[in-house]
A and B are shown apart, each in its own frame.
Chain A
Amino acid sequence: MTTESTAGRIDSATRDQIVTIVARHAQQRAPLIEILHDVQSTLGFVPDGAVPLIAGELNLSRADVHGVLTFYHHFRNKPPGRRVVKLCRAEACQAMNSRALEAHLRQRLGIGFGETTADGGITLEAVDCLGLCACSPAAMVGAEVHGRLTPERLDELLRSAGPEVTP
């Protein structure tokens, strides 16, 4: 199987973007994870077609790249919704009733963790600790951090601000 045929799943503009990203890390030792970060920051996700392309550029096997990509929770292989909500579910937030926030979001959005609303508006993701444990329960909405959240405040945050994509 050649790199060319499998990489066909991404268009040529995307392909160029990825090749440029890889080239940017040419001087770095062991750059794979840094490259995956940059691809996700640029595209919002790491498309399946990027795997053989990056593997070829770095002289790694597809299994190496796929293995890394799927090991780390941060990387996604599907485009996220316009806004990403990352809700903390670690102990300190649980001690301040984050489970109620989780239930509220599941019910209000009709989706669970790792899912996107049907209109592509919101992706809900779980995160284990944002380091905001002194103002729990906490979440990230887009690039912004929020503490001492209540269901009402979350609703307000989801209503306000325009569409946004978080890498």
Chain B
Amino acid sequence: MTVNVWVPRDAGALALGAEATARRLVAAARAAGTDIRPRRNGSRGMYWLEPLVEIECGAGRVGYGPVNEHDVDGLVAAGMLRGEPHALCIGPVDRHPWLASQQRLTFARVGRTEPLDLGEYVANGGYRGLRRALEIGPAATVTTVADSGLRGRGGAAFPTGVKWQTVLDQPGAEKYVACNADEGDSGTYSDRMLMEGDPYSLIEGMTIAGVAVGATRGYIYLRVEYPHARETLHAAIVRARAAGYLGRDLMGSGLEFDVELRIGAGAYICGEETSMLESLEGRRGEVRVRPPLPAHKGLFGAPTVVNNVITLATVPFIVAEGATAYRDHGQANSRGTLPLQLAGNVLHAGLVERAFGLTLRELLYDYGGGSASGRPIRAAQVGGPLGAYLPASQFDTPLEYEAFAAIGAMLGHGGVVAFDDTVDMLAMARHALVFCAQESCGKCVPCRMGSVRGAEALDRVARGVDRDGNLALVEEICDTMTHASLCGLGGMAPAPVLSAMKHFGEDFQRPGPGR
């Protein structure tokens, strides 16, 4: 009997040696005389267990992890290929509490299927959303998305249905769907996991968007730092086109939609939507002044839906299952689920997709298991490099848009980076400004100059030169950046700086390490 053996090809798993593990497994199985079929999935998102090998047997998919190359022979000798117990065995993967307690709607297939197997995608609910959109037509599709309460998961949290309606209402035949896959925020990797683990869900979501607003062309703007996602997306687009899910006659409907993959070139600012549009048009990624909004005048001057990967990949579920099925998750104005990403100094880092409402403490300790170093978690930065640093006293904040806004923080793209008590918060505050200076597009003065002058002032604080005067100067610069910058980079870079100064003031009052 042939045994299905799953080893992830997700970049995170590869970074931990999954390729060598997969090769060794094939050799060890052959030596043991067991016939195996190597399957390659995305990651389940339990990165502390990667490479996580799964064996299909009577008990379901039994997991072993982390399985390094040198563990393989011993595991095979101990009966791994029959799903037998071992110190590295975690039992049936679906029943692992870390996964079983999640509500995986957007990530339903990630880690469970072969990413490029279109038949498997369809067999697991794929393309039911597009079929439904073609049946009910543009207006009803947009209404469904609006009623679901879905908000932009890239970070800005703008209601997706409102954006789509605006583009649908624009006259003219030339419209675009632009997918923002420039996932540059440190601590975030859900876009990458999804593109590598379930690429057709993104392609289907874009196609539904195209059908809904009357666009015939979509662009995926993918960051160059994601070569594995690039390879997977490229292959998926070719296969979807060959099977009639892209092109001139979508699923026999007579409607047209196609997708082109474009690669960024290492500019954080291109995650800002107007900068991304400039880059897609082949120019420097300098932000545009709004209005006009991209929904009115976007790519090549035409009405454009700009959405993040997770937003678009969630659409097929919503259209297939109905607005209520999604809306029933979450609370208040934060509806549905959010794929949270635990990163940095946590014991169990990985992807947690849950309905809105989990507290940061539950995420850090119940899922994360506390710090990796064993020291107390002193700070968590939520929402990427422009997100606030939260002290332990704020860890009981529920992870939802309104609750975070109320404490001057933001959920952003759902990344959470934990730091233990060895962190130097002055250094982190300075890093935020240096990063802003390096990535500023240069178009507006508050961002371009404020970031540089702010970092210089913090350097003086570190040296003990007129601390109070320089800290006051940093606050003043941050105030100007917040209120006078053209876009979110300069406008939000002060958040990590001011939150660090407010909650970790002691780090700004003493000579620190290396100062």
Seen from chain A, the residues whose Cβ lies within 8 Å of a Cβ on chain B are 29-34, 36-37, 64, 67-68, 71-75, 90-96, 127-136, 138, 143-148
B282 touches A133 (CB 8 A): no
Asked if A31 meets B344 with Cβ closer than 8 Å, knowing A132-B189, A133-B417, A135-B12, the reply is no
Please, could you name 21 A-B residue pairs with CB atoms under 8 Å apart, sorted by A? A30-B282, A32-B283, A67-B283, A68-B284, A71-B285, A73-B267, A90-B186, A91-B381, A93-B186, A95-B420, A130-B225, A131-B226, A132-B12, A133-B189, A133-B343, A134-B45, A134-B47, A134-B351, A135-B12, A135-B16, A136-B344
Closest residue on chain A to residue B381 by CB atoms? A91
Pick out which of these stretches binds chain A: B95-103, B136-144, B258-266, B485-493: B258-266
Nearest-Cβ distance from residue B487 to partner chain A, whole angstroms: 16
Chain A CB within 8 A of B412 CB: no
The answer to whether B281 touches A30, judged by C-beta atoms less than 8 angstroms apart, is yes
* Chain A residue at minimal CB-CB distance from B439: A128
Q: Confirm or deny: B342 has a beta carbon within 8 angstroms of a beta carbon on chain A.
A: yes
| Pair A74/B266 contact, Cβ less than 8 Å | yes
CB pair A146–B15 under 8 Å, yes or no, is yes
Q: Does the CB pair A90–B282 fall under 8 Å?
A: no
Which residues on the A side are within 8 Å of B225 (C-beta)?
A: 127, 129-131
Q: Is the CB of B343 within 8 A of A128?
A: no
Residue of B nearest to A31 (CB): B282
Interface centre among A32, A73, A91 (most CB of B within 10 A): A91
Collect the chain B residues with CB atoms within 8 Å of residue A143's CB.
Answer: 227
Other A-B pairs beyond A146-B15, A147-B12, 8, CB < 8 Å = A36-B265, A72-B285, A92-B186, A130-B225, A133-B344, A133-B417, A135-B12, A135-B47
Please give me the residue from chain B that is nearest to A144 by CB atom. B14
- Is there contact, CB below 8 Å, between A74 and B15? no
Known: A133-B187, A134-B47. A145 touches B11 (CB 8 A): yes
Most-contacted residue by chain A among B14, B225, B439 (CB, 10 A)? B225
Q: In whole angstroms, what is the CA distance A148 to B431 when docked? A: 22
Measured in the bound complex, the distance between the Cα atoms of B385 and A92 in whole Å is: 10
Q: Shortest beta-carbon distance, B384 to chain A, in Å?
A: 8
Question: Looking at the complex, which one of B349, B420, B435 makes contact with A128 (CB distance below 8 Å)?
Answer: B435
Q: Within the complex, which residue of B189, B266, B300, B349 is in contact with A131, where a contact is CB–CB below 8 Å?
A: B189
B265 & A129 in contact (Cβ 8 Å cutoff): no
Residues in B neighbouring A33, C-beta threshold 8 A: 262-265, 279, 282
**A90 and B349 alpha carbons, distance in the complex (Å):** 16
The answer to whether B12 touches A91 (Cβ under 8 A) is: no
B353 on interface, CB distance cutoff 8 Å: no
CA distance A96 to B345 in the complex (A): 6
Q: B330-352: contact bitstring with A at CB < 8 Å (1 yes, 0 no)?
A: 00000000000111110001110
Cα-based distance from A98 to B439 in the complex (angstroms): 20
Contacts of A75 in B (CB 8 A): 265-266
A49 to B47, CA, bound (A): 45
The answer to whether A92 and B344 have CB atoms under 8 Å apart is yes
Cβ A73 vs Cβ B47 within 8 A: no
Which of A131, A135, A146 neighbours the largest number of chain B CB atoms within 10 Å of its CB? A131
Taken residue by residue from 405 to 432, chain B's Cβ proximity to chain A (1 for < 8 Å, 0 otherwise) reads as 0000000000101111001000010010
Cβ-defined contact, A138 with B344, below 8 A: no
Shortest beta-carbon distance from A150 to chain B in Å: 13
Chain A residue numbers with a CB within 8 Å of B228 are 145
- Cα A29 to Cα B299 in complex, Å, equals 11
Specify the chain B residue showing the minimal Cβ separation from A91: B186
- Interface-centre pick from A64, A72, A129, A134 (highest chain B CB count, 10 A): A134
In angstroms, Cα B264 to Cα A131, docked, is 15
Alpha-carbon gap, A2 to B225, bound state (A): 36
Report A80 CB to chain B, min CB distance, Å: 14
CB-contacts of B25-48 with A (<8 A): 45, 47
> Could you tell me the distance between the alpha carbons of A129 and B267 in the complex, rounded to whole angstroms?
11
How far, in angstroms, from A144 to B385 measured CA to CA in the complex? 25
- In the complex the two chains form, is B267's CB within 8 Å of A71's CB? yes
Residues in A whose Cβ lies below 8 Å from that of B226: 131
Q: Which of B45, B185, B285 contacts A129 (CB 8 A)?
A: B185
Question: Is residue B188 within 8 Å, beta carbon to beta carbon, of the partner chain?
Answer: yes
Residues in B211-225 with C-beta less than 8 Å from chain A: 224-225
The listed residue (A71, A136, A146) touching B343 by CB distance below 8 A is A136
CB of B183 within 8 A of chain A?
yes
Which residue on B lies nearest to A32, using beta carbons?
B282
